[in-house]
Amino acid sequence: MAAASPSPSATRRDAAPDDDRPLVQIEEVVLRFGSKTVLDGISFTVDRGDRLVVMGQSGGGKSTLLRLVIGILKPTSGRVLFAGTDIARLSRRQLNAMRARLGMVYQYSALISSLNVRDNLALPLEELTEKSTAEIDELIRARLAAVDMSGSEDKMPSELSGGMRKRIGLARALMLEPELILYDEPSAGLDPVTSSVIDELIIDTSARTKSSAIIVTHEMESAFRIATRMVMLYQGKIIADDTPEKFRNSDNEVVAQFVSGSTQGPIGEAAHERT
């Protein structure tokens, strides 16, 4: 009989992470697809409790960076470490155990359209733990309450608004009590009020669960509301890594243009040169 997969809580106990060590370390990472270099020697860390916002142009490698952290992609060179472990060196079993310590909130929620809310939320626990149906249902009720979606277990994704689907996506990401939650454009397609609600949920979730977060977003208002730290990717490199206040007042011309949304500056000039 095949050995059962370790539960998320057991994985955390076995790992015994050192609280003084960054939760995520990106070390001189290069990523190429054929002749195209997407990431060009980038380095940064995510400390425990950080809400790190990653900014940059569309197609600049932000979402690709999340795929590296979750182990879907491997760097061409350099290392991506989670709690001190090089993700690229993990076996399939070890990678699955590591992923049980992560949560992912996708840009368009990525709910399975043929499953109701209850079954969407149950999937991670059914696949990665040995919890009973009663235990899973109790956790589902708690997670839905945390995102103000109590009583929605029987609803299908098609019955939910965009903001509701975002909330359910967050609830699903919380099912395994992750140490790190990755958010890919959490405010995309939402009206300003709903966007603010999602921002507050991200902040509250981080504080309540003591989890860290990496948030990819183009929305400057959301970015400054959420972030405890920011990095900016530009032409494959990290050109700024600082506090939100320093970003607001940056003397880097690219950062200043991106934050202000101005059409005048080096970003437009670089795009014009490429065409």
Q: How buried is 275 (Cβ within 10 angstroms: 0-12 exposed, 13-18 middle, 19+ buried)?
A: exposed
How far apart CA 173 and CA 180 sit, in angstroms, is 10
Q: Are residues 118 and 91 in the same domain?
A: no
Q: Does 42 share its domain with 134?
A: no
Residue 51's φ and ψ, nearest 5 degrees, are -115, 95
Same structural domain, 38 and 166: no
pLDDT at 269: 62
Is 16 within the bounds of a domain? no
> Of 131, 159, 177, which closes a domain?
177
pTM of the entire structure? Answer: 0.84
- Indicate whether 139 belongs to any domain: yes
Asked if residue 12 belongs to a domain, the reply is: no
- Are 135 and 267 contained in the same domain? no
Residue 4 lies in a domain: no
Residue 13 — very low, low, confident or very high, per pLDDT cuts 50/70/90? very low
Whether the per-residue pLDDT at 128 is higher than 90: the answer is: no
For residues 273 and 188, state if they share a domain.
yes
Does residue 168 share a domain with residue 41? Answer: no
In a domain, 2, yes or no: no
Q: pLDDT digits over 208-232, tens only?
A: 889 999 999 888 999 999 999 999 9
Task: Tell me the pLDDT tens digit for each residue of 90-118.
Answer: 999 899 889 889 998 887 778 899 999 99
Is residue 6's pLDDT more than 80? no
Do residues 192 and 201 touch, judged by C-beta distance below 8 A?
no
Q: What is the mean pLDDT of residues 148-153?
A: 93
- How does pLDDT run across 234-262, given as a tens digit for each residue? 999 999 999 999 999 999 999 999 999 88
CATH code, 209: 3.40.50.300
Distances (CA, A) of 189 to 13, 218, 259: 39, 11, 19
What is the residue range of 134's domain?
A: 111-177
Does pLDDT of 135 surpass 80? yes
Same domain flag for 76 and 157: no
In a domain, 160, yes or no: yes
Q: How does pLDDT run across 164-223, given as a tens digit for each residue?
A: 998 899 899 888 889 999 999 888 778 888 889 889 989 998 998 899 999 998 889 999
